[in-house]
């Protein structure tokens, strides 16, 4: 069964957003890396702004900590001013966050574009972390399932079924992002169960068993252990708290919860 407890290795990713240029990125990582490296049993991913990825890579390449980009374009090269190509990320990053709600809301990204990017990530050996999540208006109007269904069907169509263990989905309710108001563990699990059922419908349970679904939105050192404890939440996508050593505490909470199962 795809929701099986303990079947998947947790993944905790830090989305730095537009924080930490190359020098700051290097200094911050140097500070947290020894502690982050020491945590076993969980995939640890740091996602700096693209201009800081090379500086981060100089430190992480010899460690077990992986890098992710926060975005990329789907094309390999050409006249796309300001964009970053999968070829540029390959070799530096293992992961790439796609369709973050800030990209969708502030930069006009559609499910169709996010899908193209996800296909491009697979084609270039990058593991996509695809974000979905409803707005507060959607939740209040009981539209959460409808919105999530459209995002999953639109963003995650036509992926290579035999490589879905490379896919990470981040459930990030928009009302929980940067607000200090995390979803309850039960609400997060309910939506993640919907996401898993949709993936099963699209690709079959055998193919989706390895897909990891994270929760994101105001994850902190204080609430991480509870989110990590039960089934279905395979990790976290962490914004604000990933800019401090709290990221280490959060990562450790997921490692310990996994061990306890
Ligand atoms: P937050 O951001 O942890 O600051 O709420 C999460 C995200 O946007 O990925």
Q: Tell me the CATH class for 8-260.
A: alpha beta
Read off the pLDDT of each residue in 188-200 and give the average, rounded to a whole number.
98
Pair of tokens at residue 107: 């930069």
Confidence of residue 41 (pLDDT cuts 50, 70, 90): very high
In whole angstroms, what is the distance from residue 172 CA to residue 194 CA?
13
pLDDT at 260 over 50: yes
Q: Would you say how long the chain is, in residues?
A: 261
pLDDT at 187 over 80: yes
**96: which residues sit within 8 A by CB, 6+ positions away?**
68, 69, 70, 71, 72, 86, 89, 117, 121, 126, 127, 128, 129
CA 237 to ligand 1: nearest atom:
9
Best of 100, 107, 238, 244 for a ligand 1 pocket test (most atoms within 8 Å of beta carbon): 238
Determine whether the shortest distance from the Cβ of 15 to ligand 1 is under 6 A.
Answer: yes
Best of 178, 179, 242, 249 for a ligand 1 pocket test (most atoms within 8 Å of beta carbon): 178
Read off the pLDDT of each residue in 190-207 and give the average, rounded to a whole number.
98
- Domain locations along the chain: 8-260
pLDDT at 4 over 90: no
Read off the pLDDT of each residue in 186-214 and give the average, rounded to a whole number.
97
What is the bridge-based pairing of β-strands 235-238 and 212-216? parallel
CB atoms near residue 170 (< 10 Å):
27
Q: What pLDDT does 1 receive?
A: 41
Read off the pLDDT of each residue in 120-145 and give the average, rounded to a whole number.
98
Read off the pLDDT of each residue in 50-56 and give the average, rounded to a whole number.
98
Determine whether the shortest distance from the Cβ of 208 to ligand 1 is under 6 A.
Answer: no
pLDDT at 261 over 90: no
Q: Tell me, yes or no, if 124 is annotated catalytic.
A: no
Catalytic residue among 102, 109, 134, 172: 172
Confidence of residue 259 (pLDDT cuts 50, 70, 90): confident
Read off the pLDDT of each residue in 160-182 and give the average, rounded to a whole number.
97
pLDDT at 2 over 50: no
């Amino acid at each position: 069964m795809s929701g099986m407890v303990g079947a998947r290795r947790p993944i905790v990713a830090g989305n730095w957003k537009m924080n930490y240029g190359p020098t700051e990125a290097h200094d911050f990582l140097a500070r947290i890396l020894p502690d982050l490296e020491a945590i076993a049993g969980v995939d640890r991913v740091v996602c700096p702004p693209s201009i800081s990825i090379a500086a981060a890579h100089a430190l992480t390449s010899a460690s077990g900590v992986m890098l992710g980009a926060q975005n990329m374009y789907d094309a390999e090269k050409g006249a796309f001013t300001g964009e970053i190509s999968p070829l540029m990320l390959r070799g530096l990053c293992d992961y790439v966050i796609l369709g973050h709600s800030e990209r969708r809301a502030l930069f006009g990204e559609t499910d169709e574009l996010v899908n193209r990017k996800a296909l491009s990530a697979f084609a270039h050996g990058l593991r996509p972390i695809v974000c979905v999540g409803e707005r507060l208006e959607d939740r209040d109007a009981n539209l959460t399932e409808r919105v999530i269904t459209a995002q999953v069907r639109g963003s995650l169509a036509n992926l290579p079924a035999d490589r879905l263990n490379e896919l990470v989905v981040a459930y990030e309710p928009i009302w929980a992002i940067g607000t200090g108001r995390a979803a309850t563990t039960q609400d997060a699990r309910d939506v993640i169960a919907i996401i898993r059922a949709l993936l099963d419908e699209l690709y079959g349970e055998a193919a989706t068993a390895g897909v990891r679904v994270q929760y994101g939105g105001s994850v902190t050192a204080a609430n991480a252990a509870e989110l990590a404890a039960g089934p279905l939440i395979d990790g976290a996508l962490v914004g604000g708290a990933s800019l401090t050593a709290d990221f280490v505490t959060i990562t450790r909470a997921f490692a310990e919860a996994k061990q306890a199962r």
